[in-house]
Structure 1
Amino acid sequence: MQKHRIGLVGTGFIARGLLLLLSSMPDMEVTAVLTRRKLNECTEVPLPHVLTNSIQELLAKSDLIVECSGDVIHATGVIAKAMEAALPVVTMDAELQVTTGSFFVSKGYITEAEGDQPGCLAALKANVESMGFKPLVYGNIKGFLNLNPPLEDMLYWGKRSGISLQMVTSFTDGTKVQIEQALVANGLGTGIAKDGLLGTAAEDLQEGAEVLAAEAKRLGKPIADYLLSAKSPPGVFITAEHDERQKDALAYFKMGKGPFYTLLQPYHLCHLEVVKTIRRTLLGEAPLLNNSASPKISVAAVAKRALTPGTVIKKGIGSFDVRGIAVDIAANPNHIPIGLLSYAVVKEHIEPGQILQFRDVDIPDSLASLAWQDIMKKN
């Protein structure tokens, strides 16, 4: 059997887990893993012989690229090269998708994978709609948030969880869920209830989901949002309506009395689910989810603390300077997407809670910045 050659971008938690999983697949093999680190320093990476610092080697040895570096600036450049080589791209990188993913939609094949919440919601949507449900809420579940967590806590939880400081901070301060639901809104053609999302707090999943569904009905459109619910499982849900004539059947199926019905997937298994999307891509199926060619929602950078001129924001996502909130692009045309903040220099005094504007910060030139400008011109 000839194996499909899979190239990975990144050597973090997701990439390492996926590398291990794919090494056990009879029809696939990881032939190259792109890293910017010195190869002899990547001691935690399984199968070190596939590591490379060369993008060209990655492309030459791959039939499909999986991007999971979590670095928007770097990933944008790699994906551009993959598109030039006519290689399909699967991402586990919602940060990339909501910043520059729309730039690539017309240039080649790009899809977000199942595993993270957006991909899981896209797959769940197809399932519930096939049963006649009409979604109102595409929901993410968070157990805990601290919008401005202290460094000491993040160092502790990062070490305990085996993930990077940047990653654990973006999870805790809400940036990650805002990014995920912005991707859901753009990719599935929904709206958001307000900038920053509702983030309804609820002990009971069904009760919280019904609050969100009622708001979607009031707005007259489906929404992407999340519940803050410590007792609920770490998965995704869709709250939907159905044909009134199915009311008795749905009650018999223990779905409740309606009119809102919540369908829960009580898990998302990150890299373990990526294989499903790789397979559908290799089969030539349509992308599961991308940010769309004309996104309506972005994730703006909001100051966590007072920022003075000369401050260098080394990386926006997962920083202690800013966090991200989902915003309507039309209402916030000059906001800086948090994914573009990489070694950016503050020019103006910025107050805590203020949305950063392009006039406030100098951003280094990059393909990612040019891609964002291109997206806005076409939007």
Structure 2
Amino acid sequence: MLNINTGLRKLDESGEKINVGLIGVGQMGRGIVTQVFKMKGMNIPIIANRSVDRAKAAFQSAGVDCKDIYVTNTVSEAENAVKSGKYVVTEDFEVVTKVLPVDVVIEATGVPEIGAHTALKSIYNGKHIVMLNVETDVTVGPLLKRMADSAGIVYTVSAGDEPGAIKELYDFADAVGFKVIAVGKGKNNPVNRDVTPDTMRQKAEEKRINPRMLTSFVDATNTMIELTAVSNALGFVPSQRGLIGPKAALKDLPKLFSLKAQGGILDRYEVVDYVLGIAPGVFVIVTSDHPVIKETMAYVSMGEGPNYVLFRPYHLVCIETPLSAARAFLYGEPTIAPVGVFWLQPPF
């Protein structure tokens, strides 16, 4: 993400902005709108949402006057409104993917089918697509990435969620020449596979989130989905079916994520897993057997090696999502995307 601030500032100084179309204004979508309106060089001129009132409220919360909000489900009217400086709300997500001033579409519904349709229409219409919808990515992401590449469009999963944060940390470690042997994320509660939306409803209401979403956090569905996206992007594999999910302190991770023969928990390297006790952070485990590097790492209090943990103690979800849109527009790069080939027919 280095120098994105410079690129955005230059756009702003030249009077230009990256126009972002947003699909979905739940908790995350509303946060995206608010954050973009605080940034230089970016704008959200159009939102699609099933509830028009909720989309209008998101704009107003970000400081848009209600008289400047225009509601339409017609592409031509939306384009004219955007070009005249209005902010458009539509119930039809396809309108967002077709409006000419839109450079990047952010999909934030969390619904696999809607996400797939949005990404497909965005690619067809020449819009970069940012998925704050990892559910879609792990379902059809490889196919969407292949189609986007063929069209010269950036397909990317969002910064700010754990997969994007892990990939950024991995890229740093890889760039400086470390061998990355494991990556993962923290989980903030023990796994309970017996919970249901009904049993979690009261807690969900207290937290003001969807009961199904909270259930997916507690029963580890969300963790499995996120680490599937990481696996698809890095070519790493699960440590075991269902993952191990040890409870551990940060300082213990280098030893823990070593091979069983060395006193660790792993059967092999290049794996993904989660750890109870380090949420909301993400980590990569790196290794080096070079004496000079080991000496330097000891000097900067990273341990004696040969394994070391690089840790990022936060992920800011929707606050970081606009950076993926900026990166796609400015540099033509994804934050994180699957690297595998989607076979239309079995390769045998």
TM-score category, normalised to shorter length: 0.7 to 0.9
Whether the 8 Å contact between 1:110 and 1:287 is mirrored in structure 2 is yes
- Structure 1 residue 165: Cα displacement: 1.4
Other structure's SS at 2:40 match? coil
Whether the 8 Å contact between 1:210 and 1:239 is mirrored in structure 2 is no
Q: Which residue of 2 aligns with 1:88?
A: 128
- Structure 1 residue 26: Cα displacement: 3.1
1:376–1:32 CA distance, 2 compared to 1 (3 A): farther
Whether the 8 Å contact between 1:102 and 1:294 is mirrored in structure 2 is yes
What is the alpha-carbon distance in structure 2 between the residues aligned to residue 63 and residue 155 of structure 1? 38
* RMSD of aligned residue pairs (Cα, Å): 2.2
What is the alpha-carbon distance in structure 2 between the residues aligned to residue 146 and residue 39 of structure 1? 36
Whether the 8 Å contact between 1:294 and 1:378 is mirrored in structure 2 is no
Q: Which residue of 1 aligns with 2:179?
A: 134
Whether the 8 Å contact between 1:32 and 1:51 is mirrored in structure 2 is yes
Aligned residues: 297
Q: Which residue of 1 aligns with 2:312?
A: 265
Q: Which residue of 1 aligns with 2:276?
A: 228
Whether the 8 Å contact between 2:185 and 2:279 is mirrored in structure 1 is no
1:34–1:94 CA distance, 2 compared to 1 (3 A): same
Q: Which residue of 2 aligns with 1:366?
A: none
Whether the 8 Å contact between 1:181 and 1:224 is mirrored in structure 2 is yes
Q: Which residue of 2 aligns with 1:112?
A: 157
What is the alpha-carbon distance in structure 1 between the residues aligned to residue 123 and residue 338 of structure 2? 16
Q: 1:124 aligns with which of 157, 169, 173?
A: 169
Render the CA deviation track for 1:18-53: whole Å, top value 9, x for unaligned.
Answer: 011112223111111111x24246575334733211
Q: Which residue of 2 aligns with 1:143?
A: 188
- Structure 1 residue 162: Cα displacement: 2.2
Q: Which residue of 2 aligns with 1:196?
A: 242
What is the alpha-carbon distance in structure 1 between the residues aligned to residue 212 and residue 89 of structure 2? 23
Render the CA deviation track for 1:108-132: whole Å, top value 9, x for unaligned.
Answer: 1211121000000111111122233
Q: 2:138 aligns with which of 79, 98, 103?
A: 98
Q: 2:52 aligns with which of 39, 51, 75?
A: 39
Judging by fraction of residues, say which structure has more helix.
Answer: 2
Is 1:26 paired with 2:40?
Answer: yes
Percent same amino acid at aligned positions?
26
Extract unaligned runs of 5+ from structure 1. Answer: 296-373
Extract unaligned runs of 5+ from structure 2. Answer: 1-14, 61-65, 70-87, 149-153
**TM-score, with structure 2 as normaliser:** 0.79
What is the alpha-carbon distance in structure 1 between the residues aligned to residue 347 and residue 337 of structure 2? 17
Other structure's SS at 2:147 match? coil
Q: Which residue of 1 aligns with 2:80?
A: none
Other structure's SS at 2:259 match? helix
1:15–1:263 CA distance, 2 compared to 1 (3 A): same
Is 1:77 paired with 2:117?
Answer: yes
Q: 1:251 aligns with which of 291, 295, 298?
A: 298
Q: Which residue of 2 aligns with 1:164?
A: 210
Render the CA deviation track for 1:220-269: whole Å, top value 9, x for unaligned.
Answer: 4310111122xx34110011102431212211111111121001100000
